[in-house]
Amino acid sequence: MISGYGIDMGTGNLKIFDRSTGKVVNEKNTIAIVDGDRMYAYGDEAYSMYEKAPDTIQVSFPIINGVIADFDNMQTMLLEILENRMGAKLKGADIVIAVPNDITEVEKKAFYDMFAKTKIKARSIRLCEKPLADAMGMDIDITEPTGVMVVDMGADTTEISVISLGGLVISNLLPYGGNRLDDSIVTYLKRKFNLVIGRKTAKSLKENIGSALKGQGTSMTIVGRDVVSGLPIEMSIDSQVVYEGIRDELNNLATNIKMILEKVPPELAKDIVHSGIYITGGGSNIADIAEFFSGVTNIKMNVSEYGEETVARGLDKVLSDEKFHRFGYTMKSRIFS
């Protein structure tokens, strides 16, 4: 069997589907740099240094707002994980890379060049629009004449798309996602309790006791810095506080979903009401997110079982199923030849 890899380079996590094993490798999309340009660590190891590293080590994220911001280090980390950690055989392999729909062709070409501008002689290098891969990853037959709405809640972006007959009828890439929720928690705790925390702590609060609905009644003890004394203090944070911190951002997201729904043609809207809206991405793991969106739209919500890995799993369909093979394209078939 020809080796194949489906790659989703998200802002928060790098997900790689290995066709030979049928499994997804999920690593933090983070790099640690020393001496200005030398990679010191990458993946989960680099993320563990985030907000803890000295000035001599720069910890950063090579993908920002869905596009590649640090090409060289992203390429180095990607090949390290594939070749050294996964033992991937890239020569003669089929590679499919997910790209956001609402970015420029030049930005899409940067994803393509991750492998095209290497000495690796891959059998094929193709791109696939991320909303289509999302839908396929949830076992939706996107070739049918049926309207499907997918909301992908990523770290830096949220992509809201309506799909029918294998094409994107509507797609809107919002420039905020889970990181904005984390920042909102940081801001809220500082304003309410004079407590300064890092984004990693805020993310932990969101994932462990955060909810899109109030009244969960759980709590979590964290350590932050008191603004008045300047000293570290321990404080128990209630889930209601986290809810109040992220409420406004969730309402903004719900408003954007409603705006997209208002643009959907009536016949496709009927399909969406019947099948429901599909929610995926890391943000889909927030407790009660489905109930929250259902309350705003009066439409049922289908939350992806795998969340962060849905796109990578959808790319496997492009690799292995002839029916979906055409949804992977090369840049040469677009504007670059």
Give the pLDDT confidence score for residue 334 in this predicted structure: 52
pTM value > 0.95: no
Give the pLDDT confidence score for residue 333 in this predicted structure: 47
Same domain, 40 and 105: yes
Share of the chain above pLDDT 70, in %: 98
Provide the 8-state DSSP code for 82: I
Q: What is the CATH number of the domain that holds 75?
A: 3.30.420.40
Residue 320 clears pLDDT 60, i.e. is over it:
yes
* 206-260 pLDDT, tens digit each: 999 999 998 778 999 999 999 999 999 999 999 999 999 999 999 999 999 999 9
* 254-291 pLDDT, tens digit each: 999 999 999 999 999 999 999 999 999 999 999 999 99
Sheet strand arrangement including 301-303: 167-174, 158-164, 148-153, 277-280, 301-303
Of 232, 182, 227, nearest to 207 by C-alpha is 182
Q: With beta carbons less than 8 A apart as the criterion, state whether 61 and 27 touch.
A: no
* Euclidean distance between CA atoms 62 and 110, whole angstroms: 12
Residue 20 clears pLDDT 50, i.e. is over it:
yes
More confident residue, 131 or 118: 131
Strands 38-42 and 57-60, by their bridges, are: unpaired
Same domain, 123 and 167: no
* 34-78 pLDDT, tens digit each: 987 889 999 999 999 999 999 999 999 999 999 999 999 999 999
Distances (CA, A) of 159 to 49, 119, 139, 260: 29, 33, 19, 11
* Euclidean distance between CA atoms 52 and 42, whole angstroms: 15
Give the pLDDT confidence score for residue 8 in this predicted structure: 98
Residue 312 clears pLDDT 50, i.e. is over it:
yes
4-29 average pLDDT score: 96
Q: Does residue 48 sit within a domain?
A: yes
Give the pLDDT confidence score for residue 297 in this predicted structure: 96
Strands 301-303 and 277-280, by their bridges, are: parallel
Same domain, 148 and 277: yes
Residue 97 clears pLDDT 70, i.e. is over it:
yes
142-171 average pLDDT score: 96
* Euclidean distance between CA atoms 32 and 147, whole angstroms: 43
At 80 the three-state DSSP class reads: helix
310-336 average pLDDT score: 86
Q: Count Cβ atoms within 10 A of the Cβ of residue 101 and give its class: 0-12 exposed, 13-18 middle, 19 or more buried.
A: middle
* Euclidean distance between CA atoms 312 and 90, whole angstroms: 17
101-112 average pLDDT score: 94
85-94 average pLDDT score: 92
Q: Does residue 134 sit within a domain?
A: no
Quote the domain boundaries for residue 170: 139-303
Same domain, 113 and 174: no
Count of structural domains within the chain: 2
Same domain, 62 and 145: no
Provide the 8-state DSSP code for 195: E
Distances (CA, A) of 85 to 42, 88, 156, 239: 12, 8, 26, 38
Residue 165 clears pLDDT 50, i.e. is over it:
yes
Same domain, 192 and 224: yes
Same domain, 206 and 118: no
More confident residue, 307 or 301: 301
